[in-house]
Amino acid sequence: MIRILKLYKIFIVQHLKKLMEYRVDFLTGAGSFFITQITNIVFISIIFNQIPSLNGYLYNEIIFIYGFSLLPKGFDHLFTDNLWIVGWYVVRKGDFDRYLTRPISPLFHTIVETIQFDALGEIAMGLILVIYSSIKLALHFTFINIVLLIIAIIFGALIFTAIKIACAALAFWIKQSGSILQIFYCTSDFARYPITIYNKVIRGIITYIIPFAFTAYYPANYILRNGKPLYCIGGVVLMSIILLSLSLIIWHKGINAYESAGS
Amino acid sequence: MIKVQNVSKEFKKVVKESGLKGSVKSLFSRKYDIVKAVNDISFTVAKGEILGFIGANGAGKSTTIKMLTGILTPTKGEIEINGQIPYKNRKKYVREIGVVFGQRTQLWWDLPLTETFTVLKEIYQVDDARFKKQMDFFNEVLELKDFVKSPVRTLSLGQRMRADLAASMLHSPKVLFLDEPTIGLDVVVKSNIREAITKINQEEQTTIILTTHDLKDIETLCKRIIMIDKGTLIYDGSLLDMKNKFGKFREINLSLQNNSDINMLRFKEDLNLNSDDFQIKSNKEKITVIFNSQKIGVSDMLSYILTHTNIADISVNDVNIEEIVRRMYK
Ligand SMILES: Nc1ncnc2c1ncn2[C@@H]1O[C@H](COP(=O)(O)OP(=O)(O)OP(=O)(O)O)[C@@H](O)[C@H]1O
Ligand SMILES: [Mg+2]
């Protein structure tokens, strides 16, 4: 464990140095993210100027769900961004070779190599929105509420990670799975809104198949609608464990199917 | 120490039909071509041996190395190294090996070399004393000092290769796999690298398997070579034997005034040569005759050709052992 932290430290320090070098890049990354989010919020506000509530959800409740959805997504983004390049080109170009010749888990090795500080923008935005809407809604949080929400964020992030691992691993067979990963990742956008606005099919998909609803809507419902913690929070934990196990199986099978590349 | 038994590796290649229609079609029904990159290879290597793999481009050398290092899973056959199966107990197995691919670095692109070694020290859990000893050794034989502060991406090819070599040996592996460790290097760096390889082999009894297209590498480093052609092992033995067997072959290149004269060359009948002792290859203008100069001298061969044909141009060329062995086995 200490070894893992040491490795992480070296890579993070190195990453920070690089960011100093390319400061502009970091600023534009975080900046463009804020702009996108603000546009989204403005969009929601405009809609709510016409209709004061959506399927029984008030404006500020929607903001709460929206803000909360950014937290698991942001933490996953912060730590596991390297999975994207595995899907896009590391496998296809045969560069995955080097992860296989080191005595640490290739998955862990891939993941520690980058920390995506752009994600801090996502996390900050999420926190701002959650806090703002909580104040507006005059929500009271007990200690247990907060602990359970933190658990939901951690395991929610793992749902994202699991889906990314599984999609990235497809590249071991089909060489390039970046676009598949993109499609799956984008379905998480559905989960930023109360899922009651969707029809049964979509609701079923984002609850049980690609369970992004558990990364935002259900944990938020636990607070907003007094949802049962066993379902709202326990569901996140259960879903993430199931998905993570499945994705690890796919990943390991993928490594055995890995064909490298002629050089 | 290394046991390889009847190992084959096949790659599936998707056959793409041309045009947009073809691409759409291949989305739904994929046709595969099977490429046999390595075909039923067996050999063993003893501890402390340096073994050289040679063979033409695309022969299957890198694929073999990738199976030995656990990167690829063989389609058929068994590999056992240090009592372990590379692709099964990968994490444990790779602790005892070092790998260099001349074509692409194994190092982290943005990390300065010093940091790279720190990371590797953590990964392989090398203790401080050992680490210092190794670094001193590398500085001595590979002269890393001049560029240890630079990020890997800024290194020249020769510097990068030395860095890769050092990185592969930091944890004192029992077996070292070097796939074209001298590719693209100048004469001085090449000889530096050969020296380093020799030293490692002598001081630590490291078993080394390398591939190369440079026969000088083979001559200075390996007593034993394995030659692969189109995935098949065609020679396994000492370099000396190979030279005795094939080193006496000579090559004559000629062009004729009248191409049909080629039928006048009847080595079997007129010169009593066995079919292993010569080969004639012709394409439009050029004819190549390869023959064993122990069976028939170069001057006899020349005069035979000159008396039986009308020559436009003729030259006797240096032998490329690799090339000759390949042709003789076809
Ligand atoms: N990842 C891959 N997918 C499909 N075919 C491959 C792959 N890697 C190698 N091949 C094929 O396998 C054969 C052997 O390739 P390999 O790279 O082992 O040759 P090599 O002996 O190392 O050649 P070189 O001297 O050019 O490096 C070639 O025909 C090559 O096209
Ligand atoms: Mg090769």
Does residue B102 sit in the same domain as residue B64? yes
Q: From the CA of B240, how far away is ligand 2's center (Å)?
A: 24
Task: Return the residue whose CA atom lies nearest to atom 7 of ligand 1.
Answer: A262
Query: Which pLDDT band holds residue B92 (cuts at 50, 70, 90)?
Result: very high
Average pLDDT over residues A103-130: 89
* CB–CB contact B71 A260 (8 Å): yes
Within a domain: B12: no
Whether B141 and B227 share a structural domain: yes
CATH of the domain at B178: 3.40.50.300
Outline where A55-208 has alpha helix (H). 59-80, 82-85, 97-100, 106-112, 119-136, 143-169, 171-174, 178-186, 200-204
Which of B212, B243, B274 is a domain's end point? B243
Taking the centre of ligand 2 as the mean of its atom positions, its distance from the CA of residue B293, in whole angstroms, is: 33
Q: Which residues does chain B have within 8 Å of residue A112's beta carbon, measured at their own beta carbons? A: none
pLDDT band at B239 (very low <50, low <70, confident <90, very high): confident
For helices A59-80 and A143-169, the axis angle rounded to 10 degrees is 50
pLDDT of A26 higher than 80: no
Q: Which residues contact A174 (CB under 8 A, 6 or more apart)?
A: none
Mean pLDDT (whole number) for B320-325: 66
Q: Which residue has the higher pLDDT, A202 or B24?
A: A202
ipTM of the complex: 0.84
Q: Are B304 and B155 contained in the same domain?
A: no
Assigned token pair, B233: 């092992």
Whether ligand 1 lies within 6 angstroms of the CB of B55 is answered as: yes
pLDDT surpasses 70 at B329 = no
Question: Is the Cβ atom of B8 under 6 angstroms away from ligand 1?
Answer: no
- Give residue B295's domain range: 248-329
Residue B216 lies in a domain: yes
| pLDDT score recorded for residue B111 | 86
Mean pLDDT of B70-94: 94
Is any Cβ of chain A less than 8 angstroms from the Cβ of B76?
Answer: no
- Comparing A92 with A39, the larger pLDDT belongs to A92
Give dist(CA A7, CA B108) in Å, integer.
13
State in Å, rounded, how far the first CA of chain B is from the last one: 32
pLDDT tens digits along B243-289: 777 767 888 888 888 888 888 888 888 888 888 788 888 887 788 88
CB-count exposure of residue B129 (10 Å: 0-12, 13-18, 19+): exposed
> Which band of pLDDT confidence, cut at 50, 70 and 90, is reported for residue B10?
very high
Are residues B321 and B206 part of one domain?
no
Residue nearest to atom 25 of ligand 1 (CA): B57
Residue type, A99: Y
Residue B157 sits in the same domain as residue B296: no
Q: How confident is the model at residue B30 (pLDDT cuts 50, 70, 90)?
A: low
pLDDT at B326: 64
Query: Are residues B235 and B252 both part of a single domain?
Result: no
Clarify whether residues B271 and B238 are in a common domain.
no
Percent of chain B with pLDDT over 90: 48
How large is the average pLDDT for residues B310-322? 79
Q: Is B60 in the pocket of ligand 1 (CB under 6 A)?
A: yes
B134 domain residue, yes or no: yes
Give a yes or no: residue B24 inside a domain: no
What is the number of CB-based contacts under 8 A between chain A and chain B? Answer: 64
- The whole-number average pLDDT for the span A45-74 is 86
Count: domains in chain B = 2
What distance in Å separates residue B118's CA from the closest CA in chain A? 8
Residue among B13, B14, B62, B225 whose CB has most ligand 1 atoms within 8 A, to mutate: B62
Structure confidence by residue, pLDDT tens digits, B110-145: 888 998 998 899 899 999 999 999 999 999 888 898
**Residue B23: inside a domain, yes or no?**
no
Which has more pLDDT, B82 or A55?
Answer: B82
Does the beta-carbon distance from A7 to B123 stay under 8 Å? yes
pLDDT at B330 over 60: no
State the Cα–Cα distance between residues B209 and B321, nearest whole angstrom: 20
Note whether B101 contacts A260, CB cutoff 8 Å: no
Quote the mean pLDDT of chain B: 88
CATH assignment at residue B280: 3.30.70
Evaluate whether B211 touches B54 at the Cβ level (below 8 Å): yes
Q: What residues of chain B lie within 8 A of the CB of A7, using their CB?
A: 119, 122-123
Ligand 2 geometric centre to CA of B215 (Å):
15
Q: What is the DSSP string of B243-261?
A: HHHHTTEEEEEEEESSGGG
- State which residue of chain A sits closest to B89, comparing Cα positions: A103
- Closest approach of chain B CAs to the CA of A92, in angstroms? 13
- Nearest by CB to residue B94, choosing from A102, A262, A263, is A102
Query: Could you tell me the pLDDT band of residue B322, with boundaries at 50, 70 and 90?
Result: low
Between the CA of B53 and the centroid of ligand 2 the distance, in Å, is: 10
CA distance A48 to A60: 10
The mean pLDDT value of chain A amounts to 89
Is A52 close to ligand 1, i.e. is its CB under 6 Å away? Answer: no
- What residue type is assigned to position A171 of the chain? A
B22 band by pLDDT with thresholds 50, 70 and 90: low
For ligand 1, atom 6, name the residue with the nearest CA: A262
Stretch 145-184 of chain B: residues touching chain A, C-beta under 8 Å: none
Which residues in chain A have Cβ-Cβ distances shorter than 8 Å to B58? 262
CB of A257 sitting under 6 A from ligand 1: no
Q: Per the CB < 8 Å rule, is B122 touching A3? A: yes
In a domain, B52, yes or no: yes
Average the pLDDT over B201-221 and give the result. 91
Q: Which atom of ligand 1 is nearest to the CA of A263?
A: 17
Give me ligand 2 centre to Cα B180, in Å: 7
CA distance B99 to B130: 20
Residues B209 and B281 occupy one common structural domain: no
- Per the CB < 8 A criterion, the answer to whether A251 and A107 are in contact is yes
- Residues facing B14 on adjacent strands: B32
Q: Is B66 on the interface with A (CB under 8 A)?
A: yes
Residue A54 pairs with which residues in a beta bridge? A57
Least trusted range by pLDDT, from A228-237, B10-19, B216-225: B10-19
Contacts of A105 in chain B (CB under 8 A): 91
pLDDT of residue B323 exceeding 70, the answer is no
Does residue B11 sit in helix, strand or coil? strand
- Rounded Cα distance between B71 and B63, Å, is 9
Shared domain for B185 and B288, answered yes or no, is no
Q: In whole angstroms, what is the distance from residue A117 CA to residue A103 CA?
A: 27
Q: Which of B147, B160, B166, B158 is nearest to B187 (CA)?
A: B158
Residues B148 and B259 in one domain: no
Q: Does B35 touch chain A (CB under 8 A)?
A: no
Rounded to whole angstroms, what are the CA distances from A75 to A128, A135, A251, B195, B211?
Answer: 15, 24, 21, 49, 45
Share of residues in chain B with pLDDT > 70 (%): 92
Same domain assignment for residues B302 and B325: yes
Dihedral angle computed from the Cα positions of residues B223, B83, B106 and B101, in that order, rounded to the nearest 10 degrees: 30
Query: Do A263 and B94 make contact, defined as CB atoms within 8 angstroms?
Result: no
- Which of A7, A256, A257 lies nearest to residue B122, judging by beta carbons? A7
Q: Please list, in sequence order, all residues whose beta carbon lies within 8 angstroms of the beta carbon of residue A151, skipping any fewer than 6 positions away.
A: A233, A236, A237
Residue B11 domain-assigned?
no
Smallest CA–CA distance, residue A260 to chain B, in Å, is 7
B25 pLDDT band (50/70/90 cuts)? low
In a domain, B185, yes or no: yes
- From the CA of B60, give the closest atom in ligand 1: 18
Residues of A in contact with B73 (CB under 8 A): 256-258
CB contact under 8 A, B91 and A105: yes
* Those residues with Cβ within 8 angstroms of residue B92's Cβ, 6 or more apart along the chain or in another chain: A103, B84
**Which residues from B are below 8 Å from A14, CB to CB?**
110-111, 115
Tell me the pLDDT tens digit for each residue of A199-217: 999 999 999 999 999 999 9
- Domain end marker among B227, B243, B259: B243
Residue B76 C-alpha to ligand 2 middle, in angstroms? 20
Average pLDDT over residues A88-110: 93
